[in-house]
Amino acid sequence: MDPRIVAALACPHDGEQLVEEARTLGCPHGHRFDLARQGYANLTAGRPRHGGDSPAMLDRRRRVHEGGVLTRVHAAVVHAAVVDAAVVEAAATDAEHRGAETQHRGRALPAGIVCEIGAGPGTYLAAVLAAMPDRTGLAVDVAKAAARRATRCHPRADAIVADVWDGLPLRTGSVAVLLDVFAPRNAAEFARLVVPGGTLVVAAPEDDHLVELRERFGMLAVPAGKSSRISAELAPDFKACEVETVRTRVSVAPGLAADLATMGPSGHHLDPERLERIAAGMDSSPIDVTVAATVIRFERRATLEASV
């Protein structure tokens, strides 16, 4: 693993600093975690509450991303993540320009890693790292199949298996940019991990996201006003700095429409055989689908609780 990533990790049992030796992560109290052949580490303290996305769901997600269905969401996430990073990364060799940029942007991004929660194959993490050449990234997911894929998403990315609801095995204040794209949120853990002045990017579906597919495939509904509730949930520790709502229509083939319907939470509840019958019964005409999501950039307020 990249030494900067290892330095950000903490033992899931006692919170102590981990070090890597002979493809094993260990803490001073003797807890050891072997690196898998693919390079990721399983840092769950016990049995996870759920297994996360299946390999089939991750394959569907890959096809959707490769098909360009979520291109506008990708662009909004990257913009939100690097808007402040440009102060440090792009102008680092020009002191005078850097000063002007700092005044224009308002602040510089502090030290720390880029981390994506519920990363799946690490698609968003890879896009952000490509725009931030001096940063390393960590993909976090509860599914081993996701970690296997994410560890290959970018040359400067590593991956771990961990459950966001059980406390994340990362050092307090070790994260400069935290990404949460259509993923679970643990506000207390996010506040602990993100360094003061750091960035949290949250992307959540709007209530008309994929609305054309919901009845056809029996997808779960998106609660109305979800993005507003997210801001209120994070308000004690994070200040909302920028909000962008992406709403576009995308034409997709029936097979890709089925992937869209089952790559997320609905995929855990829908019968795969029934979905195959629905897709097989559809004609070959493309389907116009609404992609609607709100991307919010938060800044971590200048307070930090003691390490746990």
Concatenated DSSP letters for 251-284?
EE-HHHHHHHHHSSGGGGTS-HHHHHHHHHHS-S
The answer to whether position 27 is within a domain reads no
For 173-206, write each residue's pLDDT tens digit.
999 999 999 999 999 999 999 999 999 999 999 9
> Domain limits at 262?
50-300
Q: What is the CATH number of the domain that holds 65?
A: 3.40.50.150
Report yes or no on 258 lying in a domain.
Answer: yes
Is 246 among the domain residues? yes
Position 167 in a domain: yes
Strand order of the sheet with strand 194-205? 41-42, 157-161, 137-141, 113-117, 175-181, 194-205, 287-300, 238-252
Give domain status of residue 14, yes or no: no
Residue 265 lies in a domain: yes
> What is the count of structural domains for the chain?
1
Tokens of 296: 């919010």
What is the reported pLDDT for 94?
Answer: 38
Return the residue matching tokens 């949290």.
200
Q: Is residue 30 part of a domain?
A: no
- Exposed/middle/buried for residue 21 (C-beta within 10 Å: 0-12, 13-18, 19+): exposed
What digits encode the pLDDT tens for the residues 100-123? 333 334 467 899 999 999 999 999
Q: Determine if the pTM surpasses 0.75.
A: yes
| pLDDT at 272 (0 to 100) | 65
State yes or no: pLDDT of 307 exceeds 50: no
Is the residue at 283 inside a domain? yes
Render pLDDT for 55-99 as a digit per residue (tens, 0 to 9). 988 999 999 999 999 999 999 999 999 975 544 344 333 333 333
pLDDT at position 284, please? 75
Are the C-beta atoms of residues 181 and 123 closer than 8 Å to each other?
Answer: no
CA pair distance 51, 183, nearest whole angstrom: 14
The stretches of the chain forming alpha helices (DSSP H) are 3-8, 55-66, 71-82, 85-89, 95-105, 123-131, 144-150, 187-193, 211-217, 226-234, 254-262, 272-281
